[in-house]
Structure 1
Amino acid sequence: MNETHENGTGMFGGADEANPLMRIQEKMGGMFIAWGGDGGEFTGVPLVESFDEYYAEYAAIRQRVGILHMPQRTVVKMRGSEACDFLHRMNTNDVNGLKVGESNHALLLNQKGRIDVDMIVMKVGEDELWLEVDQHNASRLIESLDKMIFTEDIEFEDCSDQLEHIALHGPAGVKLLEKLRTQETEGLSGIELWEHREVKLHGVDCRVYRRDDAGSLGLHVLVPRDALIAIYGEMVRASGWEAGAEVDAEWAEKRREGLRGRPIGWMAYNTARIEAGTPIWMIDYGTDSLPAETGIIDELVSFTKGCYLGQEIVARMHSRGHPKRILVGLKLDADKIPVAGSAVTEEKNGESAIIGGITSSTASPLLGNQSIALAVMKWGKHRAGSKFSVVAEEASIAAETCTLGVM
């Protein structure tokens, strides 16, 4: 993921189209990074890195509610009488077992068993599925599935210019949405993991699914693009946050009486999701990865369903016991943070041997700002409690493997 710490839309091609909130978020103090891009140019999707209050944004995730716009996500709709059965035969998870209102996390593999597309699958109706994917994968997903259709009754719709994703992370997420909900629609109290509901917010039909990817309650709201500015604004107002507000007794009283939430950026979310042990597609695993290497295979793969594309390789790997490498957590004995791509090494016969690599890293507020990371490690070197070294800020730092997540 390309990144920058400067404001201004000039570095992003088609910024307003890729992120309709960008100019508003700039006025709110947002600083941006580019998700994706080509050849080092900042042509990717602009998303807020932070609103220059990182610790307050992180605290909102853990204690109140943080509002995160995710313009890098989109939805592909599948419709037709054979849509569910067809996707069940194509991806790694159980689609036919889903009831309307349920969802799961799944992969589309290639014939070599490596990951082609990562998706959230929502069953919206008996003949309709919503597949949430990275913006850069929408056309690939449609092309890959379309070429497998012979006579099935299925049609696809790329909703990249129709739907936007706003994630609410934190224990007060339901309370915030209740402030916006039109009362004749179903509320969100008691929503279960991977459940999704249609809810009218600020008079607009939206869909909300639950995935606690940051280690707190996570409500993911799919909003019509033409209502994005209004709904995002209402969420921010309902949270009790005001841009440039004067911090005085009146402001403090209003914050105490309100939800004490706020808009957040990628930096705070990234810290929280690494603490929670949530890997991200194209950051911690990608198109060169096998499902067994992701560290979350039980979330991604059903071993009780029938055949699907790439299933023989997955089954063979499962029966043989383990992959050659796997994603795990690391704790570092210092506050220095290794960058993605840093080697994990061990001393052997007086020489340093590479046995893994860092994919994500952060300083963990939960551990007193101790550095933690996700890393792909050789099998046998991945077991919790194993001790190695990592280069961080030009220093060799002792590190210990752990399970994904420190919560």
Structure 2
Amino acid sequence: MQKTTHFLWQPAAWLRVTGEDALSFLQGQLTQDLRHLMPGQAVYGLWLNQKGKMVADSFVLRDEGGAYFLGSYHSPAAVIRERLEAYIIADDVTIRDETTQWRGVTLWSDEPPETWRADLPGGFVFRGRREVGAHWEWVAPVAAVESHAAQLGPAMDAAEVERRRIVAGIPAVPQDLGPNDLPNEGGLERDAISYTKGCYLGQEVMARLKAMGQVRRRLLRVRGTGAVPALPAALFADGREAGELRSAAEDADGFAGLAMVTLRHVPADGKLALAADAAPALQLAEQP
């Protein structure tokens, strides 16, 4: 794997879900369809509340023994576990927190994973969500990652990984999309929600939003001048609060960010300020 760049990370959540009812239970909770998930595969989905608001996100994977694993970059294990266990009634389902026993490695390689997957000592390999370009996550027991770390090539630092995520417009949950936000406000309806799987918690709200075809707020990419402000930061247009800057990272001569904005308050020129009486310091980097 000489042509590989890597980033070592600790999952915020890595839960093992087992039991006779594991599939049916998770299927009734996740926004994605798990019925065709094969061993070794991963799907990205959301855990919502009954109002369709964000609780957490995660990848869901299945191993050869039929166990399911819920892994998240940013959503805490305790939050996901509490959300799920609140709905276990008579189900044969056991949720075990194994977060500290696993490590993650993001891999950027010139070659597809089929050519190097066999070189890794176990674990899961799946497509990541850190940027638009091709990259993969390898999540494995701590000992396996530590034994193989020297063979992974040069490391990418956390600041660059975060910059790429923000420039790509990929929300971090709950930093960018939290318990007061809808998935559609962050564009997650495109790749985190199945509209054909049937019932799950929050499904009626998602179906209604799909039929309406619009939301009042959107998480949008912005570019700013000067230093990265303390986050979260209120944003203003024409002296009125128009949104909130939730993520930001140094980029070029200023910073790139993700901001949740109220669409009807965004001016035609897309310029936003960090104070009601300040000159605009941010510019929308995409159309609302």
TM-score, scaled to structure 1: 0.62
Q: 1:382 to 1:119 in 2, by over 3 A?
A: farther
Which of 321, 325, 330 is the matching residue for 2:217?
325
- Maintained 8 Å contact 2:39/2:66: no
Return the offset for 1:65.
4.4
One-letter identity of the residue aligned with 1:90: Q
CA distance in 2, matches of 1:301, 1:359: 23
Q: Which residue of 1 aligns with 2:279?
A: 396
Q: Establish whether residue 89 from structure 1 lines up as the match of residue 47 from structure 2.
A: no
- Maintained 8 Å contact 2:13/2:75: no
DSSP 3-state at the match of 2:105: strand
Q: Which residue of 2 aligns with 1:43?
A: none
CA distance in 2, matches of 1:322, 1:80: 39
Q: Establish whether residue 276 from structure 1 lines up as the match of residue 174 from structure 2.
A: no
Which of 231, 251, 268 is the matching residue for 2:148?
231
Which of 240, 248, 271 is the matching residue for 1:361?
248
Q: Which residue of 1 aligns with 2:7?
A: 68
CA distance in 1, matches of 2:131, 2:20: 36
Q: What do residues 314-373 of structure 1 show as CA deviations (whole Å, max 9, x unaligned)?
A: 2223323323312011134x45544432232221xxxx01111111123434xxx45322
Q: Establish whether residue 123 from structure 1 lines up as the match of residue 73 from structure 2.
A: no
Return the offset for 1:399.
3.4
One-letter identity of the residue aligned with 1:375: A
Which of 48, 51, 54 is the matching residue for 1:109?
48
Structure 2, unmatched stretches of 5+, are: none
Q: Which residue of 2 aligns with 1:139?
A: 78
- Maintained 8 Å contact 2:177/2:186: yes
DSSP 3-state at the match of 1:396: coil
Q: Establish whether residue 158 from structure 1 lines up as the match of residue 49 from structure 2.
A: no
- Maintained 8 Å contact 1:73/1:165: no
- Maintained 8 Å contact 1:89/1:307: yes
DSSP 3-state at the match of 2:104: strand
- Maintained 8 Å contact 1:120/1:131: yes
- Maintained 8 Å contact 2:74/2:174: no
One-letter identity of the residue aligned with 1:82: D
DSSP 3-state at the match of 1:293: helix
Q: 1:316 to 1:279 in 2, by over 3 A?
A: same
Q: Establish whether residue 314 from structure 1 lines up as the match of residue 198 from structure 2.
A: no
Q: What do residues 297-319 of structure 1 show as CA deviations (whole Å, max 9, x unaligned)?
A: 21121112211112222222332
Q: Establish whether residue 216 from structure 1 lines up as the match of residue 133 from structure 2.
A: yes
CA distance in 1, matches of 2:102, 2:23: 22
Q: Which residue of 2 aligns with 1:46?
A: none
One-letter identity of the residue aligned with 1:378: T
Q: What do residues 255-302 of structure 1 show as CA deviations (whole Å, max 9, x unaligned)?
A: xxxxxxx22221111111112221111221122222122222211211
Q: 1:97 to 1:282 in 2, by over 3 A?
A: same
CA distance in 2, matches of 1:66, 1:360: 24
- Identity percentage over the alignment? 23
DSSP 3-state at the match of 2:63: strand
Q: What do residues 117-172 of structure 1 show as CA deviations (whole Å, max 9, x unaligned)?
A: 2111123348322110257622332333234233433322221232111112x344
Q: What do residues 364-402 of structure 1 show as CA deviations (whole Å, max 9, x unaligned)?
A: 34xxx453221001134569x74222239x963353323
Q: Which residue of 1 aligns with 2:157?
A: 265
Q: Which residue of 2 aligns with 1:371?
A: 255
Q: Which residue of 1 aligns with 2:235?
A: 344
Higher relative contact order (CA 8 A, sep 6+): 2
- Maintained 8 Å contact 1:75/1:133: yes
Which of 288, 299, 304 is the matching residue for 2:196?
304
Whichever of the two has the greater Rg, that structure is 1
CA distance in 1, matches of 2:207, 2:20: 29
DSSP 3-state at the match of 1:271: helix
CA distance in 2, matches of 1:126, 1:72: 22
One-letter identity of the residue aligned with 2:148: I
> Number of residues paired by the alignment?
284
Q: What do residues 196-248 of structure 1 show as CA deviations (whole Å, max 9, x unaligned)?
A: x7x452xx32221112522332221112113333222332xxx2xxxxxxxxx
Q: 1:326 to 1:114 in 2, by over 3 A?
A: same
CA RMSD of aligned residues (A): 2.9
Which of 244, 248, 270 is the matching residue for 1:387?
270
